[in-house]
Amino acid sequence: MFIQSVLYSLLILFFVHFNQENFDNPSNWNKVSSVEDLWKYDPSRIRSLISAINLQKPELKDIKIQIAKGDTIKGTKLLVDYFRNHDLSDVINNTNNAIDINSANSICQDSVTFGNKTLKIPRNIDGSWKWNYTGIEKDDEIGYSLNSLRYLNVLLSAWQNSGNEKYVKAFDRIMKDWTIHHKLPEAGDRIYEVLLDDKVLDYRDIGEVEWRTIQAGQRLGEVFPQVFFGFRDQDLFSPATLLLMLSSINDQAGFLRKFHKVGHNWTTMEMNGLALAGLAFPEFKDSEMWANYALEVMVKEINNQVYPDGVQKELSTKTQIVALKRFELVAEHFKLANHPVPDFYNRRIEEMYNYLAYSLKPDGHQPLNGDSDNEDLRDLILEAAKKFNRHDWTWIVSNGTSGRIPQVGPTVTFPWAGIHIMRNSWDSQAQWSFFDSGPYGTGHQHRDKLNISINAFGKDLLVDGGRYTHEDYFSFDPKVWRGYFRSSFSHNLILVDGNGQNASSEKVTKPLEEGIDYLSNSVYDYAFGIFKDGYENVEGKAEHSRSVLYLHHKYWLVLDNFETDRPRNLEVLWHYEPNCEIKISDNKVVPANNNGANLLIIPMGNIEWEAKIVKGQTEPYFQGWFSERYGTKEPNPTVIYSASISKSSTFAWLLIPIKNNIPNINFQLTELTDIVNVSIKQDSQSTVNITLPKNKEVTKVKVKL
């Protein structure tokens, strides 16, 4: 009997010890499910959460009573029950995630799609995901996307559509994994060198992909509230994971309140997350402060970040949309919470949409300036047109088949951004160009001042290079992919002694003036720009000014004036859309066949150019590559006109969009001291005489038909 008693006692001790080990060992994180489990595994999570909750709220009185009695477990269970039955999802303006069962199934098998890649996320020995994973290519963007957790919305949509509980299980496992392994960075973590130190360090310098403030904003603004309320009443969404999420929301909100950026598109994502954390979870003591602070910052930021013409100061259309959607989401969340934003804030949002509408290419795609992708914006703008009652935007997007004809345009200049959109009509076959004479931008910059892009007959002809990758993020070296796509080498510009532009002024303090910097009338459009900030590794004076005159329905005349104090080697670059087939004939760029729209380029002036076509070059540097969207690239024919000059020189280019047959062009350029006179005769049409100033003297521009 005694032996049996001893054995029984040892057995009890074994089970107690086993269970204690079970939760003392961090590798057993995946077994944490109940309130008791979490208390044994990491009681600090529950303690910090309870201390962050406002137990003075009447609806939380029962929880307060149990906590006051010292029964933390019971009080915490009541807190779980409260959130199971309390739904504040009506303050969330959900971006309706498309139902993607295949992606959801992949996530259940540890595979996540990033852009056009689906990657298997490796696991640690304890079964947790390697949250610092950046893929085989060591692309930090993969790590950023992995830790944004935005793919968890795919699981929510799949479960809501199918009712299959495996999606709830996968969500619970992944969310538990992330939250349990992502307490706030401890004091001494290198992330604080980025967040606090005066020295200029980037997250990339320390290999940080998990705790960037932008991802904290994305998690709180686009993931945590949505999936929390979406799964809240499901038993498979375990109490432990629910509590870990609440604890993490409090941690991340405090982190954003303290460390957010200023004057950057990141700020919009950070404050969108902070605002929604406050509005959707009013149970936190700091919730009202979070929401009010976020709105205060966003009200300042929409004026700080956006020029009066509606263009976000980073001067990237992609970034414009990113910032715009977060400015808009904050307004919508506050409206749903019966706390509308100031009227001027909504007017500024409308101005940002106005830029997108009036800069749109005839085929409905956005300009490819800065770090941007060739995205179709028609649905986005049509939705905004309904919201703001803008029938002119509907007209633009529909190519004049619905809506109301705009009272301005079709040529429009955005004078603060220095962006000139020249076009001859609103229809789908219109001639369209994008000419950049503005500042460098405050982020996502490319060294592309004076670049011109052309679209006609429903097709891109002359293109901006795109962005392709963020690896080697700050590079402008054309020997690496990121550097090539950011540098002058991938744009329609001039290289000087084999080098591209330096950085230039990020912002302007006054706009361009109509009649001085640009003009537009019923016959032609004209714009002037100058780049005076020098070229990499180039000494002495090297200044490029470019005038663009668009004669409606016909062609663009580009006048380049290059000022130098010594001999130079110049290379003028013209990047064609990948499907354009071209050849050099009599030093002109002509279509290689009659297969649709193309662009004829005719050099004018006294320079003896040597022309060649490069496509898909990798040595000694990259040239002739185009990226339509992030992560993709393809060769594109690029014409390089090379020449040596001994002194300052002026030369011109006639850019003629053609549909099929090559026109017969006769021309003459006469250079005088401060102007050039150009005569152009196309086929049997009357001769056109154009006078352009070498410098910014718009009054000397003349066109005689």
pLDDT digits over 385-422, tens only?
Answer: 999 999 999 999 999 999 999 999 999 999 999 999 99
Q: Is residue 635 part of a domain?
A: yes
> What integer pLDDT is reported at residue 91 of this predicted model?
83
Q: State residue 27's pLDDT score.
A: 78
The CATH number covering residue 440 comes to: 2.70.98.70
Place of tokens 């009066």: 308
Beta strand residue intervals within 523-674, DSSP E: 524-531, 542-551, 555-564, 568-575, 582-585, 588-591, 598-604, 610-614, 625-626, 634-635, 638-645, 649-658, 665-671
Intra-chain end-to-end CA distance of the chain, in Å: 118
Give pLDDT, residue 19: 45
Relative orientation angle of helices 317-336 and 343-359, to the nearest 10 degrees = 150
- DSSP secondary structure string for all residues of 282-302: TTBTTHHHHHHHHHHHHHHHH
| Residue 305 falls inside a structural domain | no
Alpha helices in 207-316 (DSSP H): 213-222, 224-231, 239-259, 265-280, 287-305
**Is 371 inside a domain boundary?**
no
CB 517 within 8 A of CB 525: no
In this prediction, what percent of the chain has a pLDDT beyond 70? 96
**Is 633 domain-assigned?**
yes
Per-residue confidence (pLDDT) for residue 661, from 0 to 100: 86
213 within some domain: no
The count of structural domains within the chain is 1
Confidence of residue 98 (pLDDT cuts 50, 70, 90): confident
| 8 Å CB contact between 530 and 520 | no
SS3 (DSSP) at 516: coil
Phi, psi for 442 (deg, rounded to 5): -95, -5
The arithmetic mean of pLDDT across residues 330-341, rounded, is: 92
* Cα–Cα distance for residue pair 445/475, rounded to 1 Å: 11
Q: Which of 145, 213, 450, 436 is nearest to 317 (CA)?
A: 436
Residue 356 lies in a domain: no
Q: CA–CA separation, 335 vs 324, rounded Å?
A: 17
Q: What is the pLDDT of residue 427?
A: 96
- The model's pLDDT over 205-236, given as tens digits with 9 standing for 90+, comes to 899 999 999 999 999 999 999 999 999 999 99
Which residue segment(s) compose the domain that 434 sits in? 412-662
Task: Find where tokens 């679209």 sit.
Answer: 455
**Which residues are paired to 572 by β-bridges?**
494, 641
For residue range 10-46, what is the model confidence (pLDDT) as tens digits? 444 444 444 444 566 777 899 999 999 999 999 999 9
Establish if 567 belongs to a structural domain: yes
Cis status, amide bond into 239, omega within 30 of 0: no
Do residues 674 and 641 make contact, with C-beta atoms less than 8 angstroms apart? no
Does 451 fall in a domain?
yes
Answering whether pTM is above 0.85, one says: yes
pLDDT tens by residue, 253-303? 999 999 999 988 899 999 999 999 999 999 999 999 999 999 999 999 999
